[in-house]
Structure 1
């Protein structure tokens, strides 16, 4: 990972532009460069993490209202749209109960359609609230990713809101929850959008993934 920290910094120092939004299954942009997607339950801090990762304040809309992201949002990273090195994909938050069953079903169909058979999808980073650990709704997402044979990696959030003495146990429990899952990448990254903890490591993981794919 150390070898890719500078590559990750340079990658995310480049331009990052919104290019496409998909609101329903079957409405996806044409295949292009590798894509990495970010998933997580509502209020896990996904928008804040994306903003921290890309050194921007408003790339992803930060809201105190759960369920704000209602579509797949695609961003071009590391070059002008059409010549980018990578695409970031912001997925709808899951596990939010205060929306209609129809909306939940629509979001579920959208995510399943994207995850299954998207040849350019390199990895899904699943954000898990470090204060709460892996919950059943997170395990349901892991199940979907395992069934879809999509590589995924857990990113714990809110590192700054845990005591130092609590952090190791959270990482260990998360690793145990992933230990027998076939599509899970074993390395867990613990992050804080407030302090920047773990952000360089996450950028480095993305740069390493690109290098492994020859991109």
Structure 2
């Protein structure tokens, strides 16, 4: 089986092997090593694959990164939306993969100038990184898709970057609302050319979906 992720797993044994590969990858050390606030500050492109996390402010991106890596303080969790204003690079498992924490988008308090700067940096990063394997586009399970989310999808499509929807905070909604939200995002994934068809549902609180997301990332590290 190629390193294509959970959708390519034809048997339970293949699925378990991918889950185990994800566990091993994230059992390794993860450390912050670089930050960039402009395109000329980006680290050089290397052969190390990169996976970026992107989402609306307050979507739970920092909490998800901490849950993935098992480090409670790797990514700062802020109660102030839009606190992350730079691209933060993290080395995973001593050079096997780089995680990129992208600035949050879509919060009302940001000035138009700052929003434009961030969009410019995001777009320049997305279209100029051949080592970028995929962007994980985080969506809140509790709320409907916002205009800012659709703008991010458009940006990713224009940059010709493959991305995958990841639903966060799944523990915070009732079953009926949860299923409705999952169906909504799955429909979005089918309509977007650059979107991966598999939507992963997660909770940083309960650990739901974390092994599956690790497995997807590990498949990209092995590709």
**So what's the TM-score if we normalise by structure 2?**
0.91
1:76 matched residue in structure 2: 91
Q: What are the residue-to-residue correspondences of 1:64-213 with 2, within 5 Å? A: 64-79=79-94, 84-211=95-222, 213=223
**Greater helix proportion:** 2
- Whether the 8 Å CA contact 2:22–2:214 is kept in 1: the answer is yes
Count of residue correspondences: 208
Residue 208 of structure 1 aligns to a residue in which SS? helix
Q: What TM-score results when the alignment is normalised by the length of structure 1? A: 0.94
Does residue 1:48 correspond to 2:67, yes or no? no
Distance in 1 separating the partners of 2:25 and 2:45: 21
Distance in 1 between the 2:61 and 2:128 partners? 24
Match in the other structure for 1:23: 37
Q: Aligned partners of 2:83, 2:54: CA distance in 1, in Å?
A: 13
Measured against aligned partners, the alpha-carbon deviations of 1:70-98 in whole angstroms (never above 9, x if no partner) come to 0000000011xxxx100000000000121
Structure 2 unpaired stretches of 5+ = 1-5, 7-14
CA RMSD of aligned residues (A): 1.0
Structure 2 Cα separation of the partners of residues 96 and 165 of structure 1: 27
Q: Does the CA-based 8 Å contact 1:134-1:177 persist in structure 2? A: no
The answer as to whether partners of 2:49 and 2:98 remain within 8 angstroms in 1 is yes
Runs of 4+ in 1 over 6 A off after TM superposition: none
